[in-house]
Structure 1
Amino acid sequence: MKRTLPGVLLAAAALTGCSVTNVEPDEGGIVYDAGMFSSTTFQECLKPSTRDVSGPGDEGYRYPNGQRTYDFTGRAESEGKPITSVSRDGQIMTMIGGLTFYFSADDCKKLQSFHENIGKKYAAYESDGWTRMLQFYIGNSVERAMDEATLKYNWRELYSDPAKKALWEQDMSKLTNQYVSNLTQGEYFERLQFIIRQPEPPKSIVDAQTETQAAQERQKAQEAENTRALTELKSLEKLAKVLGPQGAILYKAIQDGKISIVPVPTGSAVNVTPKQ
């Protein structure tokens, strides 16, 4: 998260002994008086897009400001791996996604409290430290909330029922807010919202579900064929009553195209060649 200062600015800072803090547009900053002959004390907060030149020995820190994400997709740049939790009916569900939140580094009172209580401990003003901090405070809270919320639903509800999945996400958001606040002892992370793909049960369960659905479709097709055949049989029974058994058979053969009817004028000679 720290950035290298331009050469000219570094030279100027070295000559004057000053401390320089450059705050980017998506950051907030905080400066402490940490001179050689004084105790470390809070000095001021820095707004986004500012550059502060402080006295010798002063210390400046920068933190992300605005919306941020705790990513648990397991990708190279993510903060966490996919999370697994057990459903009410005992199936292991795998959740892949993220949690968006808002961090107010431009709120001076809140930033000072965060830095002194959490930020310094994890060096969260550095990229690696910020990730470690998120993994402990956000990651642990998300996993605990997910375990608790998932136990309230069957795997089929989470896998194929959008309404139930929406309720599940609401449960997790509420629990995560509660656990994060309890863990941090402050309201540092706000507007928490999950973005999660469809929860996945084990592959064997998905395959069995797919085969069950395919079997149901085959059964429906067979039932439709049985209904068609029964309807046709009843139709033939009615024809047999009117035309007699042989007449009904002849009628059905004509209808199916097995016998062709050719009009023949009266008195004409006719040669009939049976179909092979």
Structure 2
Amino acid sequence: MVKLGNTGAAVARRGGIKGKVIGGAIAAVILLIILFNIFNFADTDANKIGLHYGGGVVEDKKFKSIIPPGSTNKLIGPGDTVYDYPIDQRSYIIGGAGADTDNADEVTVVSKDNVRLGVRVQVYFTLNRSEDVLKSFHERIGLKTDAYTDSGWNDMLQAYFRPQIDRALAAVGTNYNWAELYNNEAKKSAFQTAAAKEFTRLLPAAVGGDYFCGPSYTGNNACGELSFTIQKPTPLDKGIIDGLEAKQRAELAKATQEQKNQQVNVELQSVKQQVALLGSQGYLLKTAIESGKIQFMVIPQNGNVSIPVPTTATTTPR
């Protein structure tokens, strides 16, 4: 009986130790959960900048700080949120996907002579990372469009860039005839410059601030202007291009024939002058000599001339 009692006590002691270990592990897990809720950490990629906003139960959801690009394990408060935005060069391209197909996305512009043209556009830029400007962009545009996400960023560009590009091209397109924009590089360059100027005027007014800088902006230099380029405006009616090419071929053929006629006239005048100088017989003789039909030899006066006489080969009988 004594042995059984000792054994039971030992088992009870071991069970108590095991229970304490399990209880301690559970307490540790609970403590870690509490700590992770109290202490929050944020990371940013090398090409992203973070906006840190409060979100705890005892504070307002207000801007706190900027999280620099490439940050790791940045300690933030419980419930706080960091919104990431790109700082590298970005683009908005109309006519990129399927650009070589007939149904590619294009901006439609009506020329001065009422021809509908398709225009493909490329805009290159960077996000202004000045703290106050970036904070304003996030609160006015970013939160509304979820621009801190990839899909939201694309939606933001479509919502704010595209309408202003359409308006800019429409405003300046009516100053040019379609053939000028299609064939004249100087006119196309002037059209692009005017459209870029109009777009850079319209965009800040539409978004509410100078939120976008040029592609060379690094955060430490001047903001600069966005890069705005267009490809050759092309009539949507392909028959217009065919007609232009046919007209150009006809004009080229006409110019070639006129050049040939001019050459013939020059040659004819030369013949008339030679006939007047040599007479008709003299001109014919000169022409025959030049063509090789008549061969002659100049014999020096009082000179001895040896003329080779062809010999006939003889065959000796055997």
Answer yes or no: is 1:260 the counterpart of 2:283. Answer: no
Q: Distance in 1 between matches of 2:262 and 2:81?
A: 84
Provide closer, same or farther for how the CA distance between residues 243 and 104 of structure 1 changes in structure 2, counting only shifts above 3 A: closer
Q: Which residue of 2 aligns with 1:104?
A: 128
Q: CA deviation at 1:205?
A: 3.0
Q: Deviations over 1:132-166 (max 9, x none)?
A: 00111111111110111111112232223333223
My pick for the range that moved more, 120-129 or 20-29, is 20-29
Q: Which residue of 2 aligns with 1:212?
A: 247
Contact 1:74–1:82, Cα closer than 8 Å, also in 2? no
What do residues 92-131 of structure 1 show as CA deviations (whole Å, max 9, x unaligned)? 22222311223123x2211211111110111100001000
Letter in 2 for 1:187: D
What corresponds to 2:19 in structure 1? Answer: none
Partner SS for 1:81 = coil
Q: What secondary structure does 2:64 align onto?
A: strand
Alpha carbons of 1:163 and 1:182: their partners in 2 closer, same or farther (altered >3 Å)? same
Corresponding residue to 1:35 among 39, 52, 56: 56
- TM norm structure 1: 0.80
Aligned equivalent of 1:72: 94
CA contact (8 A) 1:31 1:60 kept: yes
How far the C-alpha of 1:66 sits from its partner, in A, is 4.3
2:115 counterpart of 1:91: yes
Is the 1:24–1:49 Cα contact (8 Å) retained in structure 2?
A: yes
Structure 1 residue 197 and structure 2 residue 231: aligned? yes
Q: Which residue type is aligned with residue 196 of structure 1?
A: I
Contact 1:19 1:60 in 2 (8 A): no
The one-letter code sitting in structure 2 at the alignment partner of 1:201 is: P
Distance of 2:279 and 2:232 partners within structure 1: 62
Partner Cα distance (2:260, 2:268) in 1: 12
Q: Which moved more, 1:241-250 or 1:172-181?
A: 241-250
1:25 aligns to 2:52 (yes or no):
no
Contact 1:114–1:188 (CA under 8 A) maintained in structure 2? yes
Contact 2:128 2:210 in 1 (8 A): no
The alignment partner of 2:226 has SS state of strand
Q: Distance in 2 between matches of 1:84 and 1:154?
A: 14
Report sequence identity in percent: 31
Q: Which structure 2 segments of 5+ residues have no match?
A: 1-31, 214-224, 300-304, 310-318
Whether 1:50 and 2:71 are equivalent positions in the alignment is yes
Deviations 1:218-266 (A, max 9, x none): 2222222212222222233333334443443343343334x23254999
Q: Does the 8 Å contact 1:141/1:176 carry over to 2?
A: yes
Where is the strand percentage greater, Structure 1 or Structure 2? 1
Residue 14 of structure 1: how far off its partner (Å)? 8.7
**Which gives a bigger RCO, structure 1 or 2 (Cα 8 Å, sep 6+)?**
1
Cα–Cα, structure 1 residues 19 and 72, in superposed 2: closer, same or farther, change >3 Å? farther
Change in 2 beyond 3 A, CA 1:142/1:19: farther
* Higher alpha-carbon deviation: 126-135 or 245-254: 245-254
1:7 alignment counterpart: none
Over alpha carbons, which structure has the higher Rg? 2
CA distance in 1, matches of 2:159, 2:177: 29
Give the alignment of 1:1-276 within 5 angstroms.
Answer: 16-17=36-37, 18-51=39-72, 52-75=74-97, 81-105=105-129, 107-190=130-213, 191-202=225-236, 203-257=238-292, 259-263=293-297
Q: Is the 8 A contact 1:101 1:193 kept in 2?
A: yes
Structure 1 residues 149 and 131: alpha-carbon distance in aligned structure 2, compared to 1, 3 A threshold: same
Shift, 1:29, TM fit: 0.7
Structure 1 residues 255 and 212: alpha-carbon distance in aligned structure 2, compared to 1, 3 A threshold: farther
8 A Cα contact 2:288 2:294, kept in partner: no
For the residues of structure 2 that align with 1:84 and 1:168, how far apart are their CA atoms? Answer: 14
Equivalent residues, number:
255
